[in-house]
């Protein structure tokens, strides 16, 4: 599976045409807001849109209905190579001491933004900052941005990409023009998945797209984890809840073994199937299989079970508990409709 290019080097954006058209119109109007908050679920193309917008600003000229720039254009190439003098990218950094990504964007990193934006554009156009993962700004790093947001210099644009807007300081959010990107349609996810994972078997892209909640990022992650096989096992389990006795639960656990990815993928897909059935039933649109799964139990009981399954997975992974026993416990929960005390 080849996977997509990084957002800064990705020429393809599908599913967000209306937002892209609105940004292009803002450019054409000459009344471009200085700060944009690009929000939405993970893996739907927010950062790809941000860099697409940045490239268009840095290239100059008047855009058409979209912000597309050919990947042969010099500006595209320099942005892709992180070598454009008028573009600064801010994101969480690697902690060399702990050998992992830092938990947040540290204040020293955020302090680079105001002086960068206050410089005269090196190429006579715009200065652009992309903050990828703005939800990771801590209070100190967010406060470092406030003055530049309150008194922006001319021809400077700040693009904040965020998957959890509620984690951001209200003082930051209130100074940005917000763009909410919706999850991608299943057909769009399937199209992108076939492009980025051409080795998938026929029909698998559509099935994974159904499981991905409108996120091509999640779809690629599921494909990489062999989700099709685990989705089939989830289907088998849910097809006959009544047969989920202890022996059957152990049989399923044995199929998963002790592999971390197998456990995580199976539990995520199990919870996702229940959530989808509850959601469609609440809208009066449950299909026969979903209706049979839910049976006579009230939706509130299924919601409680969904929460219990998610907690069980989090506790098992967080405390390194026995994953096989967790699978057995989770399946017995579904069979009886009763979550253990404390769950």
Q: Mind listing the pLDDT tens digit for each residue in 41-83?
A: 999 999 999 999 999 999 988 888 899 999 999 999 999 999 9
Instruction: Report pLDDT for 343.
Output: 44
Given CATH 1.20.120, say whether it is the number of domain 225-336.
Answer: no
| CATH code at 7-180 | 3.40.50.300
Ranges in the chain annotated CATH 3.40.50.300: 7-180
- Please determine, for residue 258, whether its predicted confidence score (pLDDT) is greater than 80: no
**Which tens digits make up the pLDDT trace of 164-203?**
999 999 999 999 999 999 999 999 999 999 999 999 988 9
Whole-prediction pTM: 0.89
| Separation in Å, CA 315 to CA 146, 310, 322, 332, 340 | 38, 9, 10, 17, 13
Instruction: Report pLDDT for 243.
Output: 81
Q: Name the band, by pLDDT with cuts 50, 70 and 90, for residue 235.
A: very high
Residue 243: count other Cβ atoms within 10 Å of its Cβ: 11
Query: What is the distance of C-alpha 244 from the center of its chain?
Result: 33
Instruction: Report pLDDT for 2.
Output: 66
Query: What is the distance of C-alpha 134 from the center of its chain?
Result: 13
Q: Coil, strand, or helix at residue 132?
A: strand
- Please determine, for residue 341, whether its predicted confidence score (pLDDT) is greater than 70: no
Task: Quote helix, strand, coil % in the chain, to nearest 5.
Answer: 55, 10, 35
Ranges in the chain annotated CATH 1.20.272: 225-336
**Parallel, antiparallel, or unpaired: how do β-strands 35-39 and 100-101 relate?**
unpaired
Instruction: Report pLDDT for 1.
Output: 55
Nearest to 330 by CA among 339, 318, 321, 319: 339
Residue 30: count other Cβ atoms within 10 Å of its Cβ: 7
């Amino acid at each position: 599976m080849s996977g997509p290019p990084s957002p800064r080097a990705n020429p393809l954006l599908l599913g967000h045409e209306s937002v892209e058209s609105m940004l292009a119109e803002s450019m054409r109007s000459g009344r471009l807001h200085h700060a944009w908050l690009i929000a939405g679920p993970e893996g739907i193309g927010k950062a790809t849109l941000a860099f697409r917008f940045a490239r268009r600003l840095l290239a100059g000229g008047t855009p058409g209905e979209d912000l597309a720039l050919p990947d042969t254009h010099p500006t595209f190439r320099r942005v892709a190579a992180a070598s454009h003098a008028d573009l600064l990218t801010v994101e969480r950094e690697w902690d060399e001491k702990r050998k992992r990504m830092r938990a947040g964007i540290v204040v020293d990193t955020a302090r680079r933004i105001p002086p960068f934006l206050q410089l005269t554009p090196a190429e006579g156009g715009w200065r652009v900052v992309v903050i990828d993962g703005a939800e990771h700004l801590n209070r100190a790093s967010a406060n470092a941005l406030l003055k530049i947001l309150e008194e922006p210099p001319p021809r400077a644009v700040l693009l904040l990409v965020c998957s959890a807007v509620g984690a951001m300081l209200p003082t930051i959010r209130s100074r940005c023009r917000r763009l909410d990107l919706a999850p991608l349609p299943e057909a769009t996810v399937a199209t992108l998945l076939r492009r980025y994972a051409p080795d998938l078997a026929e029909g698998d892209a559509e099935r994974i797209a159904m499981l991905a909640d409108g996120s091509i990022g999640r779809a690629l992650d599921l494909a990489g984890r062999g989700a099709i096989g685990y989705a089939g096992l989830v289907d088998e389990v849910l097809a006959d809840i009544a047969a989920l006795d202890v022996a059957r639960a152990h049989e399923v656990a044995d199929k998963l073994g002790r592999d971390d990815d197998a456990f995580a993928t199976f539990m995520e897909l199990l919870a996702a199937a229940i959530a989808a059935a509850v959601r469609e039933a609440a809208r009066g649109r449950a299909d026969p299989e979903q209706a049979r799964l839910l049976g006579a139990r009230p939706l509130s009981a299924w919601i409680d079970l969904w929460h219990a399954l998610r907690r069980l997975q989090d506790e098992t992974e967080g405390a390194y508990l026995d994953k096989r026993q967790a699978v057995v416990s989770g399946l017995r929960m579904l069979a009886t409709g009763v979550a253990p005390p404390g769950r």
